[in-house]
């Protein structure tokens, strides 16, 4: 007897269900719904032909389920949420697409929708007229979502409303068939025919009446022997289809199922909530509109077809259904969970360092970030952009703490108000590292001399004269700073000034500024200085001596006089310098033997605080003093003060035109000389055009602080936008937070939002 062996059906056949991933989209105020139709275009790409759904694996017939996309909006008094159900195998594609369409959103995987739809009262939405006719579609308007959310006014605690949209992909062939087969319906619409999908007795009466009118028109036309093209005698009817319907005929089509669901303590209340929600869809009524019908049966939200009425919608129409809240809606309805700003991590290379940028929060994690310690990157400049009160000074004090701790050098040029920045940094600086230059303290005051240029006795005469000439040239900018920015000394005056300074310094390299001017305006002192020149120097400086001789003339009695008219621009500036303040006068008069050695101090990593109080000096004099010290710092760097990295702080550099001129060149060269400038401004264009260009060309990092002028963002927008940031992120910054654009070795530029160190 042969024993038969039974086989299970599952050994030969498998119906493989699609796996779905549930995601919640948390919007931000920068979200716009102008391109949501692209989500549905992507959904249509999930369509598979029947032969692609059936395959044989290990002698088993496998039939895969068709795929779909679902979108759900959940509304309660306390919150409004936005959810997608996407095929797991397409999760990454949809995640990328959603991030492209809605900037700054957060996408989180969740286990399920926040409600069991089958525990609710359900109503399906379907077209009232033929499917080829479109709802009103305005991509720039959020009218539907705004109208949907208006039901919040009637919602009570423990009640909820949901909008569930199910999108079933269509093949291109199926879409084309729908458009072709709908041409008759379009013509009927044009001719005023009734295109209701379910007609009642009134509709049938209207159709009968129209038939009678057409019959009478035809009969009268026959009696009157009129052409077929003659207008109807009764009721001329011709409807023009809307732009939305015209677009639908050319647009991609996707099958859409829509449900309104409501949950409350009793059925009548649920019906009322569904009706109220349905009424909000009148906001998109166009050539077509929607009607609702209750659904009694349970539905499986993971099935491709949830067994309710399907509507052939354009991807533009469906895109109106798939909307999230943007700025106006979030501002109006306070129950919408949203991210104020886009939260991005910093690159790994900024997670360790010496000088803090600030703390980055991404979801529930926090990470302190630092400026790069890469040998090249750490020498590039930084720019702090923000209004008064944004915390620029406070941030620089915290930077100073880190700089001192890292044993770097620091120089602060402070000419703002009462020098609060310099004073606050002084409080945290160890005494052994501190050098204070207070321009209103005669004991700490520096004279107008560029002692960074020095020659030794052992130097050749050529080297000595060369150093004197370099030193002399520095006074050109210093004198130009005294007058209006558009007023410069003439080339001839500069020739006399350079000649006098070069000869004076060759005789005594510690000469005061006054000594130089005396040589220019006093023939007796001029002759005395020239007579003290070494013989070798006279030969090398003969041109300069000849230039100075031009300033001497003899009167009728044979006395030697000075030709002041040739140097009147110089003398005018010196008069302003001496009369402006007793402190500028002292700096002009005194010799430089007691000046601080900037080269030595910088190489030792000292903290040099230069204080120029606003109440003691005019704007021009503050600019002159700031320019003078910036010159000395840069000369010191060029002359060998490069052993330690030096940080330089200048607040509101736009207040000193000549500092800006100097900084234009310093920024693009500072990396070579181990100098890192930090500039604080309101926005980039506040400075000169060339300074802005130098800042951008030098690879500087930027911090846009809370309250920052939008101009600051616009000037750097192409860097921020590549990471997804918008103007709205800047506008939504919390106090003492900054939108950062940081130069680094890993990504060139990285942008993120950081809370500044407390």
Exposed e or buried b per residue across 139-158, where buried means at least 16 C-beta atoms within 10 angstroms of its C-beta: eebbebbbbbbbbbeebeee
Sketch the domain layout of the chain as residue ranges: 11-180+244-332, 193-237, 447-595
Residue with tokens 């409004």: 80
pLDDT in the model for residue 558: 64
Q: Side-chain half-sphere of 688: how many Cα atoms within 13 Å?
A: 16
On whether the CB atoms of residues 287 and 130 are closer than 8 A, the answer is no
The reported pLDDT for the residue numbered 54 is 76
Q: Which CATH number fits domain 11-180+244-332: 2.40.30, 2.60.40, 3.40.462, 2.40.50?
A: 3.40.462
10-residue averages of pLDDT along the chain (758 residues): 59 78 93 95 89 71 87 97 97 94 90 96 96 92 95 95 97 92 80 60 50 57 53 58 91 97 96 97 95 96 96 96 94 92 92 96 88 94 93 96 97 96 98 97 94 94 96 92 75 94 96 95 93 94 94 76 89 92 94 92 98 94 95 96 96 94 94 96 92 94 94 92 88 94 95 94
- Give the residue from 95, 101, 79 showing the smallest Cα distance to 30: 101
For the chain, how big is the Rg over CA atoms in Å? 40
At 31, list the tokens: 């979200």
Distances in Å between the Cα of 594 and the Cα atoms of 167, 402, 510, 527 are: 83, 31, 10, 28
What pLDDT score does 190 carry? 74
* Residue corresponding to tokens 């003899």: 554
Residue 153, helix vs strand vs coil: helix
* Tokens read off for 358: 């600030």
Compute the distance between CA of residue 753 and CA of residue 367 in angstroms, rounded to an integer: 11
pLDDT at position 717: 93
Concatenate the DSSP letters of all residues of 351-387 into one string: SS-SSEEEEEEETTEEEEEE---STTGGGS-EEEE--
**Residue 227: predicted pLDDT:** 47
Q: Which residues contact 11 (CB under 8 A, 6 or more apart)?
A: 60
DSSP per position, 95-160: HHHHHHHSTT-EEEEESS-SS-GGGSEEEEEEESB-TTSPPP--TT--HHHHHHHGGGGT--TT-E
- pLDDT tens across 245-255, in order? 999 989 999 99
Residue with tokens 């702080």: 649
- pLDDT given for residue 485 in this prediction: 59
Provide the pLDDT for residue 362: 85
């Amino acid at each position: 007897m042969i024993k038969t062996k039974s086989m299970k059906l599952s050994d030969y056949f498998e119906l493989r269900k699609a796996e779905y991933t549930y995601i919640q989209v948390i919007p931000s105020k920068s979200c716009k719904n102008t391109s949501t139709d692209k989500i549905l275009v992507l959904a249509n790409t999930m369509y598979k032909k029947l032969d692609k759904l059936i395959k044989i694996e290990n002698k088993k017939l496998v039939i895969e389920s068709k795929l779909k996309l679902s979108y759900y909006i959940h509304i309660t008094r306390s919150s409004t949420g936005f959810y997608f159900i996407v095929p797991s195998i397409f999760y990454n594609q949809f995640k990328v697409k959603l991030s492209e369409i809605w900037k700054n959103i957060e996408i989180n995987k969740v286990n399920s929708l926040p409600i069991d739809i089958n525990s609710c009262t359900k109503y399906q939405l379907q077209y009232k007229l033929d499917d080829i006719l479109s709802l009103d579609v305005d991509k720039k308007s959020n009218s539907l979502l705004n109208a949907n959310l208006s039901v919040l006014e009637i919602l009570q605690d423990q009640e909820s409303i949901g909008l569930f949209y199910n999108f079933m992909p269509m093949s291109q062939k199926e879409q084309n068939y729908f458009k072709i087969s709908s041409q008759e319906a379009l013509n009927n619409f044009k001719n005023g025919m009734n295109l209701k999908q379910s007609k009642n007795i009134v509709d049938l009466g209207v159709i009968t009446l129209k038939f009678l009118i057409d019959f009478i028109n035809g009969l009268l036309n026959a009696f009157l022997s009129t052409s077929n093209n003659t207008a109807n005698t009764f009721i001329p009817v011709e409807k023009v289809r809307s732009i939305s319907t015209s677009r639908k005929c050319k647009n991609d089509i996707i099958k859409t199922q829509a449900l309104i669901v409501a949950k409350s303590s009793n059925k009548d209340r649920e019906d009322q909530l569904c009706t109220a929600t349905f009424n909000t869809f009148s906001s998109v009524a166009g050539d077509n509109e929607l009607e609702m019908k209750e659904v009694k049966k349970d539905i499986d939200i993971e099935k491709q077809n949830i067994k309710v009425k399907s509507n052939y919608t354009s991807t533009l129409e469906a895109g109106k259904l798939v909307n999230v809240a943007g700025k106006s809606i979030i501002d109006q309805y306070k129950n919408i969970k949203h991210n104020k700003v886009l939260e991005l991590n910093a690159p790994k290379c900024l997670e360790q360092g010496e000088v803090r940028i600030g703390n980055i929060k991404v979801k529930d994690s926090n990470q302190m970030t630092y400026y790069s310690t890469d040998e090249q990157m750490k020498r590039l400049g930084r720019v702090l952009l923000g209004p008064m009160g944004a915390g620029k000074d406070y941030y620089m004090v915290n930077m100073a703490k880190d700089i001192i701790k890292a044993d770097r050098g620091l120089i602060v040029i402070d000419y703002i108000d009462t020098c609060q920045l310099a004073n606050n940094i002084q409080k945290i600086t160890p005494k052994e590292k501190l050098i204070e230059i207070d321009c209103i303290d005669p004991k700490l005051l520096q004279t107008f001399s560029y002692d960074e240029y020095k020659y030794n006795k052992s130097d050749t005469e050529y080297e000595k004269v060369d150093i004197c000439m370099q030193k002399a040239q520095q006074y050109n900018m210093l004198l130009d700073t005294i007058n209006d920015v558009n007023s410069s000394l003439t080339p001839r005056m500069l020739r006399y000034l350079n000649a006098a300074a070069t000869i004076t310094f060759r005789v005594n390299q510690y000469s005061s500024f006054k000594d130089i001017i005396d040589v220019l305006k006093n023939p007796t002192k001029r002759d005395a200085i020239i007579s003290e020149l070494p013989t070798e120097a006279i030969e090398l400086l003969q041109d300069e001596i000849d230039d100075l001789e031009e300033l001497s003339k003899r009167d009728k009695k044979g006395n030697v006089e000075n030709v002041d008219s040739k140097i009147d621009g110089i003398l005018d500036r010196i008069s302003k310098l001496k009369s402006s303040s007793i402190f500028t006068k002292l700096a002009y008069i005194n010799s430089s033997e007691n000046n601080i050695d900037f080269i030595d101090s910088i190489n030792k990593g000292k903290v040099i605080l230069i204080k120029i109080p606003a109440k003691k000096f005019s704007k021009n004099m503050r600019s002159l003093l700031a320019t003078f010290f910036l010159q000395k710092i840069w000369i010191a760097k060029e002359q060998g003060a490069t052993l330690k990295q030096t940080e330089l702080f200048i607040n509101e550099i736009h207040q000193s035109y000549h500092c800006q001129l100097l900084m234009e060149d310093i920024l693009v060269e500072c990396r070579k000389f181990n100098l890192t400038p930090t500039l604080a401004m309101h926005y980039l264009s506040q400075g000169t055009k060339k300074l802005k260009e130098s800042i951008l060309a030098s690879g500087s990092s930027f911090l846009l602080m809370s309250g920052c002028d939008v101009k600051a963002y616009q000037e750097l927008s192409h860097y921020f936008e590549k990471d997804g940031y918008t103007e709205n992120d800047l506008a939504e910054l919390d106090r003492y937070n900054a939108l950062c654009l940081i130069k680094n070795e890993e990504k060139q530029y990285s942008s993120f939002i950081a809370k500044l160190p407390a």
